[in-house]
Amino acid sequence: MFRRFAILLIVPLVVAGGFMLDKLMMPEPPVAPAKPPAAAPAQAPEPVATAPSQEPKPVVTARTEPAPPPVAAAPAEQTPIHIVTAPLTQERKPVVTEPPAPAPKPVVTIPPAPAPKPVVAALPPQEQKPVVSAPPASAPATVVAALPPEQPAAPIINPPLPLKRPVITEMTIPAKALFVRAKLPSVGPSRAIGYYPRGCLQGGVELPPDGPHWEVMRPARNRNWGHPELVTFLERFSRLAAKATGWPGILVGDMAQPRGGPLPYGHASHQVGLDVDIWYSPMPDHRLTEKQRNEMPPLFLVAPDRKHVNAKTWTPADAAFIRTAAEQPEVERIFVNAAIKKQLCHLEGKHHYTWMDKVRPWYGHDDHMHVRLKCPADSPHCRHQPPVPASDDCSEKALAYWFSDRVLHPKPSPKPAKPPKQITLADMPAACKTVLDAPAKHTDLTAIER
Ligand SMILES: [Zn+2]
């Protein structure tokens, strides 16, 4: 009887105890879901800004870049946010949000909202104790290192956060710093994407350092990449040029980086794999060493007064060299120094050769010509340049600008010029981020050479 009574007494106690234990083990109820962060700039359309191009009439106007079909779309930014509630005290319940998407590289993301918000660190998923969390947009900003209220007069140890912190993300740093890191082209079919001074190259191919009628110069720069049509053009043109000039072949300067994009120095264009600089120096009849290719100075064709070609270096073969390039149907434009253009006009005389329309005077270009190809048929997201005017522009009036004082002898500006705005990934076609993030394409050639 007593035992039955004892059991009756103990059982509820055990049950109650177990329940309390369960209650203690249970996690706190989840906090109300936070709003997803404001749309990240990853999908931002190409901006309006005009390109700081060195090429004539770059005319970059506002244009929305739909993602091209061949490449996988970037991960959607609308992924629901996983909310982790940290085991925290009753008073403070910061919500810790994980990075919105499993980005391949750790990207530092800060809500682009104007509100002054504390730093958000993108954390690897395994990490347990996040540093600071971004409060939802409606919540008041979390005070970091606030002074205890009872000591208002105490010296401030941590200076107050600035109202606007510099936002550092992959989308806001200069894109040239990202593209120069890609040592190999992306996988995927070859596509020129965007505009010559603002774009990139998917599935780039390498011009071999040596061919029957060419040698690649400045190999240390790793800029002998392009769309396959550029490589095919150079293979054919080098043969035609050798025949037209009597040279053993041509010296090929900068093309594009493996994935195109802005270059850290040297050019505003050369971004989509359709531009190439070809030296006026003939290829020698032997193979140059790596050191010679990286250091050998080019041949200058312009006289010191910059109004004429240099009689010591200019030869009729140079005219044949430029003409042969301009006659190729896939060539869109060729940029040469104005003194060289003037010399070609002089040779043309009263004729009007249509190839002369493509030869455009431009700054520099006194030691190489810059050949630009048309957008290839396989690249729907390559942006065409307006066609050259149907004029050889050989009149004195047309050339006068290039020999004016402000071009030949520009006055130094009294105050230092503002550096041009750097192109960021957010300024480029959305597909260029996909190109940048894509795995490397290993070709037989790259396997041997690199
Ligand atoms: Zn160039």
CB 435 within 8 A of CB 394: no
What spacing in Å lies between the alpha carbon of 14 and ligand 1's midpoint?
Answer: 84
Q: Which of 351, 316, 358 is nearest to 336 (CA)?
A: 358
Radius of gyration of the chain (CA): 31
Statement: residue 354 has pLDDT above 50? yes
Q: How far apart are CA 145 and CA 165, in angstroms?
A: 17
pLDDT in tens, 371-416: 999 999 999 999 999 999 999 999 889 899 999 998 998 888 888 8
Which tokens is 99 given? 């990075």
Q: In terms of pTM, does the model score above 0.75? A: no
* 296 compared with 80, residue with greater pLDDT: 296
Statement: residue 302 has pLDDT above 80? yes
What spacing in Å lies between the alpha carbon of 400 and ligand 1's midpoint?
Answer: 23
| Segments making up each domain of the chain, as ranges | 187-412+424-449
**DSSP β-ladder status, 359-361 and 331-336:** parallel
Q: Which helix (H) or strand (E) is 210 found in, with range? A: strand 210-211
CATH code linked to domain 187-412+424-449: 3.30.1380.10
Q: How many CB atoms lie within 10 A of CB 2?
A: 6
Mean pLDDT of the chain: 74
Q: How far apart are CA 57 and CA 386, in angstroms?
A: 8
What spacing in Å lies between the alpha carbon of 256 and ligand 1's midpoint?
Answer: 10
SS3 256: strand
Q: How far apart are CA 444 and CA 392, in angstroms?
A: 44
pLDDT in tens, 310-353: 999 999 999 999 999 999 999 999 999 999 999 999 998 888 89
Q: How far apart are CA 142 and CA 249, in angstroms?
A: 67
What spacing in Å lies between the alpha carbon of 5 and ligand 1's midpoint?
Answer: 98
HEC sequence for 385-422 = CCCCCCCCCCCHHHHHHHHCHHHHCCCCCCCCCCCCCC
What spacing in Å lies between the alpha carbon of 137 and ligand 1's midpoint?
Answer: 47
What spacing in Å lies between the alpha carbon of 433 and ligand 1's midpoint?
Answer: 24
Q: How far apart are CA 252 and CA 238, in angstroms?
A: 9
